[in-house]
Amino acid sequence: MAITISSHPAEVITNAPEFTVTTSLTEGASQQNLRIRATVYIGGVDEAVAVLEQPKGLDDWDFFKLLKSLTGKCNEAVGGSDIHVQPGISAELLSSWTAQLGDFTTFSSTGRKINSAISSGGFGPDYAKSNDLGSAALGEMFIVAVENDFVDSGTEKAQIALSSDSTGFGAIPRVNYAGMISGELNNNHIYFFLVTAATSTPTLWVGNDDPDTNFSGTFSVHKITDFKDNPGIYFQVKFSEVYENASDVTIVTGTKSADTLLFMPVSVRPGETFSQYLITGSGKKFLSRAEDGDTLYKHDIGMELRLMYVSVAAYMTARVAVDAGTNIEADISNLGWGILVMNSEGGFTYNPDSDDQSIIFQIDAVINGGSSIYTGAVATVLCEMNCYADIKALSFIGDLGEETVIFRGLYTENGGAEKSYWKNQNRIRKVLNAYKKKVEILRTLYETEGIRRLIHQLTYTEKDVWMFNSDFEDNYREVTVLTDSVVIEDKRTLLETDIEVEYYE
């Protein structure tokens, strides 16, 4: 009996968490009501978050809606000083390697680097084992970076596993990462390990179950310490065969784990693929504002621009180039997703001093081992210096993640109340209950094709929407977009488009 995961996402980051899972078991008297169970774990939660079952024959699984319902807005408060927001990470956990198993004819290492691991002949597994990585509680996430110098010329390609066993590699529970691209580790690539079975002595193993390996390279291991309310979700699915046996006892067997993946709750436009947003090489896009290509930043108190990206690269650089020529850069230990932030108050501050000054936001994956080749995503931001009364911004989760749309200000404001009445002895209505609320109608500040799409997304977003207003105590207030249709006949009508929002005051 065996479970086969015959189809799964092609990369470790995906917006389509879909699997095809089959079982070799057959329905019969001793295997009644045969079904496959999917137990879903996500990073930061110390137990399963969902258990689903489908009878044999329904082999396709799609976890998009389930996982999307578990996502949230990045809980990093606006106005902070960070240039870059990403999940919180631990210090480097990897410090050394040893040849734990195998017939290595050559094995040497220096710190995090395996200088050479060559095995030839013999039989059985050949693995290098890391130092004890500390502890691994249920729901904790390890991120392993295979750095740029990794080379694998062996007949049997190196694979990685997170193991709970510090001494052997036999009948031990281990999280195997079987989903390496092209069956082998990529250099400058990150891999995820969600802990679904706690252990006190986790170790990372690199090698192969068969001899004839020949690899070298530097690795890095971090643990995530803050998931930032899961704008992206690290998840792992365990598939099991479940049936009632001849005695009508429920049997759960043949459990097989899919690889840990990072789910991003985004829907790409028709004609595009999610890989166009994975920053690994040239021509890639930021997630948010990706449809626009460039965007507008209104310098105002509390206003903040966030650009979200996803990448599988280990080496990253965040870079902001002002057209005046100033570059601000930050090296990033990539954890899969991150957000570049610009505001008027924080450490990474740029206060434009003229209209239409441009700033280039850039996230670069470093390739070919060099530090000078930047080929990642680029977004140009135009700065708006005009003065508007009551500038407003709506921040929401759109098709491609967190977005911010600037509105030129208040168009109409309705201070309203929701009331219920009773009639007194004079037959006049008296207020029984009254709740105050406010309805505002906003109009857009500028017109682009991307803005049109964002306005449309605003009308159907299922997630919460926040409105920036410097009058609010913390600048932002949760609102509901009441508008459910947008009609734009020509470019000018976009500037006259009304967006009606409601909020409690």
* Interface positions with another protein (CB under 8 A): 33, 37, 45-58, 62-66, 69-70, 242, 244, 247-250, 252
CA distances from 169 to 54, 211, 404 (A): 33, 14, 50
Strands 358-365 and 315-322: antiparallel
- Name the residue nearer to another protein (CB basis): 64 or 446: 64
Backbone angles phi, psi at 494, to 5 degrees: -60, -40
Six token digits for residue 72: 């949230």
Q: In angstroms, give the least distance from the CB of 279 to another protein.
A: 30
- Name the residue nearer to another protein (CB basis): 374 or 503: 503
- Name the residue nearer to another protein (CB basis): 77 or 246: 246
- Name the residue nearer to another protein (CB basis): 254 or 450: 254
- Name the residue nearer to another protein (CB basis): 34 or 451: 34
CA distances from 434 to 20, 418, 437, 439, 481 (A): 53, 5, 10, 16, 22
Q: Name residues whose C-beta falls within 8 Å of residue 272's C-beta, 6 or more positions apart in sequence.
A: none
Distance in angstroms (rounded) separating the CA atoms of residues 23 and 380? 50
Q: In angstroms, give the least distance from the CB of 33 to another protein.
A: 7
Q: In angstroms, give the least distance from the CB of 36 to another protein.
A: 11
- Name the residue nearer to another protein (CB basis): 20 or 33: 33
- Name the residue nearer to another protein (CB basis): 478 or 498: 478
Q: In angstroms, give the least distance from the CB of 67 to another protein.
A: 9
Q: In angstroms, give the least distance from the CB of 54 to another protein.
A: 8
- Name the residue nearer to another protein (CB basis): 48 or 495: 48
∠ CA 58-60-65 to the nearest 5 degrees?
A: 115
Q: In angstroms, give the least distance from the CB of 358 to another protein.
A: 40
Please tell me the chain's helix, strand, coil percentages from 3-state DSSP, rounded to the nearest 5: 5, 50, 45
- Name the residue nearer to another protein (CB basis): 52 or 89: 52
Strand runs (DSSP E) across 171-303, as ranges?
Answer: 174-176, 189-194, 203-208, 214-226, 233-244, 250-257, 261-263, 294-298
Q: In angstroms, give the least distance from the CB of 47 to another protein.
A: 3
Q: Name residues whose C-beta falls within 8 Å of residue 72's C-beta, 6 or more positions apart in sequence.
A: 229, 230, 231
User: Which of these, 307, 315, 312, 348, lies nearest to 333 by C-alpha position?
Assistant: 315
Distance in angstroms (rounded) separating the CA atoms of residues 202 and 162? 7
Six token digits for residue 325: 């020529």
CA distances from 39 to 49, 324, 384 (A): 8, 53, 49
Q: In angstroms, give the least distance from the CB of 50 to another protein.
A: 5
Question: What is the DSSP secondary-structure string of 373-439?
Answer: -B-SEEEEEEEE----TT-EEEEEEETTEEEEEEEEEEEEEEEEEEEEEEE-TTS-EEEEEEEEEEE
- Name the residue nearer to another protein (CB basis): 37 or 453: 37
Residues 193, 139 contacting (CB under 8 angstroms) = no
Distance in angstroms (rounded) separating the CA atoms of residues 199 and 211? 28
Q: In angstroms, give the least distance from the CB of 63 to another protein.
A: 7
Residues 275, 282 contacting (CB under 8 angstroms) = no
Q: In angstroms, give the least distance from the CB of 447 to another protein.
A: 32
